[in-house]
Chain A
Amino acid sequence: MKKHRLNRTIVVLALIMAVGIFLRCYRLNALPPGPEWDEASVGYNAFSIAQTGRDEWGHFLPLIFPAFGDYKNPLYIYCTAVFVKLFGLGLFSLRLTNVIAGVLVIPVVYLIGKLIAGKKVGVIGALFVAVSPFGIFFSRIAGDGIMLSSLFISAGVLMELYFIKTQKTRFLTMATITFILAMFSYNLGRVIAPLLLLTIFAVNYLGAKIRPRATHLIAIVFAGAALLLVGQQLRFSLSSRLQYVGIFGEKKGLTLEIDEYRGQDKNDLRAKILHNKISFTILTMASNYLSHFSTDFLLNYQNHRNVSESHAPPLYLVQILFYYFGLVLLFHEATVRKTGKRRWLLVVVIAAVAVAPLPSTITEGAPSGKRSLALHGLMELVTAYGLVVFFTRLSWKKISTRLIAATVAVAYLVNVAGFLWFFFFTYPNLYGNIYAMREREICDILKKDDARFARVVISRQIDGVPYIFPLFCLQVPLQTLWQTRRFRFIDGWYYVDRFSHFQFVDAVEPEIVDQLPKGKTSAVFVTDTEKQTLLPRLINDHLLTPAQMKQQSLPLVNDPQALLYLYIVKP
């Protein structure tokens, strides 16, 4: 009977995973459109590693990738390099790692759910993850190892739970390894992984007393890995990612706000006592933290132009009350139980939920879906827990209970259908233009016609980092890049000015015509503003026939916010 039940569970889980795989793979090449800038950079660096073992800047098997100057995390790029080697460089191979990570979160959540509350919670949690809006979106983008890091965090939590349950050191070792991998996958891992590992110490301190010697040893290993990561960052002397995106810093909104309020109070003693970094930081962080548990973040669709953030919320409307109920239940049970392993299991899960929003809390623009993606899996699990306990407390024999259950199920299906419609049909039309639309158009032209151009000029008014797209879509050999590249390094950012026959300028001015090779065909990609000054020069120099002028005055990309023109000339 038990074997029969186990088989049924496996079948159900397999079906759930099949759904998860389908939703993450269907039209992966086109949805979201791409590549966008970070994806192109990740892709080309993965291509570079696969071909030569070096990144685009020539560093051999680096532990951190300079890329544009944003220093990308290594693990995702190495995983992608394997797929690039197998399938070639393209959107599919580029995104596959996150797809696999997103799918693997499903069984991990099942196992966590089964461990803390039984198979039913595990299966329902797995189902919620399979059709989760965050799960689907973040599995399909490849700008960084966001989903990969989330997988390792969830897996680490699972290993910690097994360690508490079985007291076997190997599980703590595996937890440490997965947390280290999380740190090398995406920045959120660097904040969360150490805290989650500290949870084991906290649990021991609170009374669990689970193999303390082993935990200390593992901590040393972890600290060593962490130092390695930090050391790599210091070696490149980069200003920390936290300075770039964090809420701290002299030019940040927080500091400007303090100055404003103090100025209004004429900088008197009262102003200094009330309006200072401590008070404003506490308020900002409290506000940012709480926002991850509240309705605007959890339920509302967001309208923004950020390609690496989901426009859909993490939860469906019908789930919200069960999510809150699940949180209260977990907390209540963990505090009511004084002893026993179950208590510590719940403490670890609560700790994971509690620390997950921290990376987003300390950055500008909170709440951020990608920076709080460690919540993915845990949110769905807590919701499943709340749902199962809710219906367990009602009498299933009553018709009203069955009616409520049916209503919830139907509402859930409607919510899911609504999201899937939005994501697969509405989203591309509504937000397709934020995914490097002009750059993709340039790529399409280059793929067809690059051979006929002696020079291709692309303006940085189109794109701050235009060089990466020709590299990606033409799969420029690394030797060519390394031998012909000219670049500048300003304020921690790389500005590539030339490689091969490509030239990248801050802005296209009429004088560019003098720099083009004489007697050979060149392509110049410009924005609408640049066209106003360039076109008269081209006409004046008789570089365009009337027919060419008419044709090339039509934009390649006709989005009012992103007009793109191409002029093909032969000086």
Chain B
Amino acid sequence: MKANLKLTIGLAGVLIFNALLRLVIFHSTPNSVSPEEIAFLKTLTITPALNDLSFRFLALPVNSLMLVLITLLVYRTSKNLSLSLITALLMTIVPWSFILQQHLNPFILLPLGVVTVLMVSARPVLRLAGIGLVVFLLRHWLDLHLPSVSQSISDFPILFRLVDWKTLFFAGDSVSQYLKIPKAGFFFYGDSVFLFLGAYRLLDSRFKQLTQTVLFLFIVGMLFLFTTSANALLTYRGILLFLPFTLIGAVGYHYALTALPRYLKLGAVAFMVINLIFVAELFASHFDKKNSFEWGYAETSAINQLNRMGVRCVYITQESGKFQLYADFYHKNRSFSVEKISDSHLKQTCLVNNQCRCLLKEQELRLVDQQKDDVQTVFSLYRGLPIYFLISKDNESK
């Protein structure tokens, strides 16, 4: 009873901390909506206002439930209260899980589904069937398919790269910046040490059940990777592999905090705190700047400013497909219409004195005999390069 009370209090603390992180501290990072979020919001038929990121709070109950279930799962398999709470805390802040919860995407349902199945049944066959059912139900949202022989063979190098320690702890997804915390991996740098400690500790017979769960999750994680699309982000493809790594890391943290001599314990705590601060700063101060190209900051700020300028209509070309996507999504929040024109009509349309303005990319400026320095109104990436150029009617120079 006492243990249950402690568990409840500890878990509540973790959930409050989690909520603080999502709702208060990092509520506006990433600072724009991504094309992937737009697609998912359309599926959910949610249309937020421009600059409104509160739809991301939808992930919070999913995440919270997952934290509760994983805490209970670890408690049930290890009978160790502190280990369970450390696991929950780590799941809250470990980079791969953190970044996944910071934007709305269907993959957040996957760890929840898997952990639920693990809680419901202890038999491997039933667990496998349950997880298979979860994957089957989510297959369209997650773009999953039965693996082919050729793709499976070509996925082995991806698997080796994914579980590579440089990738896990330092480099992360080196192919796409979309969900990558700059200069960080899928885990904290220090997790490389605690993972070894955790693996060593799991050899202890007291953790036999937890070890079996971890091994089971590794097998499931590998199978899941082979069902994902080759174009999917590494973060998504490895999501079920990161789960057992996190469990092992939690065991390592627990070992460091309970079994080592005091001076090593203090050193471990200091190491963790420095690690956390470093990665948190990278996320808070550098994520948007480094990854802005993949998100919609330029598009939403362009729509904002065009609204403020009272523009009635905007011409874009085929090159501005991303702007079109955002303009269509926020059609209720814009006061101007958007029309597509071909490159050959740009000159006669953009420079003629009418109500509409042309919004062009840099490589199209030459088609209207303009240089980028000539254009007064420019929409840029977050603290970055200019992306869209608004052509004025009377050819004002800077």
- A positions within 8 Å CB-CB of B: 257, 261, 264-265, 270, 274, 279, 283, 286-288, 290-291, 293-297, 299-301, 328
Contact = CB atoms under 8 A, between A and B. Distances in A.
A287 B189 CA distance: 9
Nearest to B171: A287
B252 to A, nearest CB: 15
Given A264-B383, A291-B164, A274 B278 contact: yes
Contacts of B164: 291, 294-297
B263 interface: no
Contact of B167 (A264, A283, A296): A296
B163 interface: yes
Given A290-B166, A291-B166, A293-B165, A283 B286 contact: no
B157 interface: yes
Given A264-B289, A270-B281, A287 B166 contact: yes
Interface string B294-312: 0000000000000000000
14 contacts: A261-B183, A264-B290, A264-B383, A274-B281, A283-B170, A286-B192, A290-B169, A290-B192, A291-B164, A293-B165, A294-B163, A295-B165, A296-B160, A300-B160
B161 A295 contact: yes
A286 B161 contact: no
A270 B189 CA distance: 20
The interface centre, meaning the residue of A274, A283, A293, A294 with most chain B CB atoms within 10 A of its CB, is A294
A279 B278 CA distance: 10
A297 B290 CA distance: 27
Given A264-B286, A264-B383, A287 B160 contact: no
A261 B283 CA distance: 12
The 7 closest A-B pairs by CB, nearest first: A287-B170, A296-B164, A294-B165, A291-B166, A295-B160, A290-B165, A294-B164
Given A264-B383, A283-B183, A286-B170, A291 B165 contact: yes
Interface in B145-167: 157, 160-161, 163-167
B278 to A, nearest CB: 6
Given A264-B285, A270-B281, A301 B166 contact: no
B17 to A, nearest CB: 23
Contacts of B290: 264
B270 to A, nearest CB: 15
A287 B169 contact: yes
B189 A286 contact: yes
Contacts of A300: 157, 160-161
B222 to A, nearest CB: 12
Contacts of B161: 295-296, 300
Interface string B170-205: 110000000000110000010010000000100000
Interface string B215-234: 00000000000000000000
B63 to A, nearest CB: 27
A483 B259 CA distance: 75
Contacts of B165: 290-291, 293-295
A337 B87 CA distance: 33
A215 B58 CA distance: 68
A81 to B, nearest CB: 40
A283 B160 contact: no
Nearest to B167: A296
B166 A296 contact: yes
Contacts of A283: 170, 183, 189
Contacts of A288: 166
A294 B185 CA distance: 14
Nearest to B160: A295
Contacts of A299: 160
A295 B167 CA distance: 10
B157 A301 contact: yes
Given A290-B169, A296-B164, A300-B161, 17 more contacts: A264-B285, A264-B289, A274-B277, A274-B278, A279-B278, A286-B170, A287-B166, A288-B166, A290-B166, A290-B192, A291-B165, A291-B166, A293-B165, A295-B161, A296-B160, A297-B164, A300-B160
A287 B164 CA distance: 11
A294 to B, nearest CB: 4
A300 B155 CA distance: 11
Interface in B16-73: none
A286 B183 CA distance: 13
A291 B200 CA distance: 20
B323 to A, nearest CB: 25
Contacts of A274: 277-278, 281
Contacts of A264: 285-286, 289-290, 383
B197 to A, nearest CB: 12
A265 B285 contact: yes
B272 to A, nearest CB: 16
Contacts of B192: 286, 290
A291 B169 CA distance: 10
The interface centre, meaning the residue of B164, B189, B286 with most chain A CB atoms within 10 A of its CB, is B164
Contacts of B171: 287
Contacts of A286: 170, 189, 192
Interface string B3-22: 00000000000000000000
A257 B169 CA distance: 18
